[in-house]
Amino acid sequence: MNEPTLVVRDLATHFTLRNGVVRAVDNVSFSVDRGKILGLVGESGSGKSVTGFSILGLIDPPGHIAGGSIKFLGRELVGMAERELRGLRGNRIAMIFQDPMMTLNPVLRIDTQMIETVQAHADVSQAEARRRSRDALGMVGIPSPDERLSAYPHQFSGGMRQRVAIAIALLHQPDLIVADEPTTALDVTIQAQILSEVQKLAANFGTALIWITHDLSVVAGLADEIAVMYAGRIVEAGRVESVLDRPLHPYTHGLIGSVPSRNRRGARLRQIPGMTPSLLDLPPGCAFRLRCARATAACEQDPPITAPGDDRLLRCFHPQLDVAA
Amino acid sequence: MTLWILRRLFQAVLVMLAMTVIVFIGVSVIGDPVEILISPDADQAERLRAIAALGLDKPLWQQYLNFLWGALHGDLGRSFVYNEPALRLIGQRLPATMELAVTAVLLAVLLGIPLGLLAGLYPNSALGRLAMAGSILGFSLPSFWVGLMLIMVFAVQLGWLPSTGRGATVSVLGVPWSFLTLDGLAHMAMPALNLALGNIALVLRLTRSGVRENLPMDYVKFARAKGLSPIRVVFVHVLKNIMIPVVTVLGLQFGSTIAFAVVTESVFAWPGMGKLIIDSINVLDRPVIVAYLMMIVLMFVLINLAVDLLYTVLDPRVRLESAE
């Protein structure tokens, strides 16, 4: 039981385009334990969503998993037959998407979309599948789930739709849920409700969660571990308190500095200079060096992964040890 | 809902009324049916008697009012040529055209949607490319020419299919139908295909672009992330979204298919309404022309009504009441 739910080792997901290969995910390694929440943080285009889709085997051409291993409860997912993967998707590994307005099929009723998920993985009657769907809706806090089952997605608000999507993800009590920015499109009060529901559910069922987000404040309140991605690589990882209190990588530093805070009222917001580099045309060595104040000639080499203590991982030559956030 | 349907029917009546005015004026401008109908040897007394019998001695507005009065009682006038009620004439020809048009639309659905799915799901496959290239021909080749070519190849050269007529028919409820006999089906094959060609191409392209548009949508990825089989994703999730534009276009096309079966019916000597209307226009048989056009208008309105109703089944976001 001590084995982590998910162990990702050296995962590389590439997109072969006409003008080159995009290394959207490049040698990414992390693991998630049972009942734990990993926050996968990064800017748009840092490869965090692609990492999520890689785990579910939902990378479409021209993308493909170029190397590495994804071990889920001891089973290797990379190279697994599509049929077998399909048996896991929605069953043992579920996914929640970013935009609840887009994830539910607009022309199918909620019950259709839920019952088909139940029956895709369990040999049960229509009535039993309906009962399970209703229970799942009730669990995520949708009032009068019996009536709401026969409604269409457009009859729900955004927050309610995301609850439906979460209910669908929970139908088979999966061992792992990949949540791809599920609260980004919702307003803060709804976001808080959903976060607390998810936290409860993960704890109750022992579900491991990967929470993909660009919002550090969400991760701070929700996750146990954090992994910061930049240009397809994890640049820093560790326990949430540890990383957020004592960030070592200049990029993590910049991210934390960009969060508006009450303590710095009136001061100009700090920002990370420059832009995310194009993944088609990454500079050699550390991808962040062009935006980094601490970069030196050494950064033109690939920084190795180091472990600066207490479960921390870091990919930087010049960690920022002096904390002045 | 009921109010909405009533309103649509009321609009239909107005359109039909406008149609009768246009046709009455139009036909009287084109020429005088008397010159065509009455033999040139007839003497003046005979001519006057004939004109009076056809009701053409009265001024146009009075003829029109008489016609309206008759129409209110379900009488659209008697054909000048056949001396039969125009409605009955059309009614006799209607089944032949209907079965041709329905078969053509069925062909469009049965061939167009699968080919469109194929071309949409596998855009780079040889078959997908072939379907797309073929659809361009289906659009652009003139229908009468394709009809002639079909006859040349399958009737003249190969001798597989008969080139004209309806073949053997079976009478059901007093109406002869071709599609119930093998011989009738053989006769129907070419004209139906000819009539369907443009529709097949249209449905194919609509389906393909619908697939290309819907596949990258989040709901497709979410459906896959639920562990559904690709078959269910395509045939339930994607197809239901695609059917909305396809049904609209097919509905509109069904009306035009009936109305413009004229060309195909002429090429294959199919004894339907299209051939009747061409003959009637040639002899300025006004009652038949008016009755035919009113029928077509009514049909268009009813088909559009059916399409709108079907919409609410296909797309739950559509509410008819909001159209009020």
pLDDT values of chain B reduced to their tens digit, one per residue, 324 residues: 778 778 878 887 888 888 888 888 887 787 777 777 777 777 788 778 777 777 777 788 888 888 888 878 877 788 878 888 888 888 888 888 888 888 999 999 999 999 999 988 888 888 888 888 888 888 888 888 888 888 888 888 887 888 777 777 777 776 777 777 777 788 888 888 888 888 899 999 999 999 988 888 888 888 888 888 888 888 888 988 888 888 888 888 888 888 778 888 888 888 888 888 888 888 888 888 888 888 888 888 888 888 888 877 777 777 655 443
B179: left (phi over 0), alpha (psi -120 to 50) or beta: alpha
CB contacts of B229 in chain A (<8 Å) are 86, 120
Put simply, the answer to whether A90 touches B228 (Cβ < 8 Å) is yes
Question: Which ipTM value was assigned to this complex?
Answer: 0.84
**Radius of gyration from C-alpha coordinates of chain A:** 20
Q: What pLDDT was estimated at residue A264? A: 64
Residues A273-285 have a mean pLDDT of: 75
Average pLDDT over residues A240-265: 78
Tens of pLDDT, residue by residue over A137-188, are: 888 788 888 888 888 888 888 888 888 888 888 888 888 999 888 887 777 7
**pLDDT of amino acid B324:** 37
Which chain B residues touch A110 with a CB distance below 8 Å? none
Length of chain A measured in residues: 325
Q: What is the mean pLDDT of chain A?
A: 83
Measure the CA–CA gap between A114 and A110, rounded to whole angstroms: 6
The backbone region for A310, taken as left when phi is positive above 0, alpha when psi lies in -120 to 50, beta otherwise, is left
Q: What CA–CA distances, in Å, run from A164 to A173, A210, B9, B159, B236?
A: 15, 19, 41, 62, 19
pLDDT of residue B281: 85
Tokens 């999507």 found at: A165
| Residue in B with minimal Cα distance to A170 | B226
In this predicted structure, what is the pLDDT of residue B111? 92
pLDDT of residue A280: 75
Q: Which residue has the tokens 């392209």?
A: B205
Nearest to A108 among B224, B226, B237 (CB): B237
E-strand stretches of chain B: 170-172, 175-177
DSSP element (H, E) containing A75: strand A75-76
Cβ-based neighbours of A301, under 8 Å, separated by 6 or more: A285
Could you tell me which chain A residue has the CA closest to the CA of B312? Answer: A107
Rama region for B234: left / alpha / beta (φ>0; ψ in -120 to 50; rest): alpha
Half-sphere exposure of B105 (CA within 13 A, CB side): 19
| Both tokens assigned to B124 | 């780079």
- Among A77, A107, A121, A164, the strongest candidate for a mutation testing the B interface, having the largest count of B CBs within 10 A, is A107
- Report the DSSP beta bridge partners of residue A30: A8
* pLDDT score, position B207: 92
Q: Which H or E run includes A234?
A: strand A233-239
If you measure CA to CA, which chain A residue comes closest to B232? A116
pLDDT in tens, A100-145: 888 888 888 888 889 888 888 888 888 889 998 888 888 878 888 8
CB-based contact A168 B226, cutoff 8 Å: yes
List chain B residues with CB under 8 Å of A120.
Answer: 226-229, 232
Is the CB of A152 less than 8 angstroms away from the CB of B217? no
Spatial strand order of the sheet with A63-72 comes to: A20-32, A6-17, A63-72, A75-76
Nearest beta carbon to residue A154 from set B240, B314, B317: B317
Which residues, other chains included, contact A123 with Cβ-Cβ below 8 Å and sequence gap of 6+?
A: none
As a whole number of Å, the CA-based R_g of chain B is 24
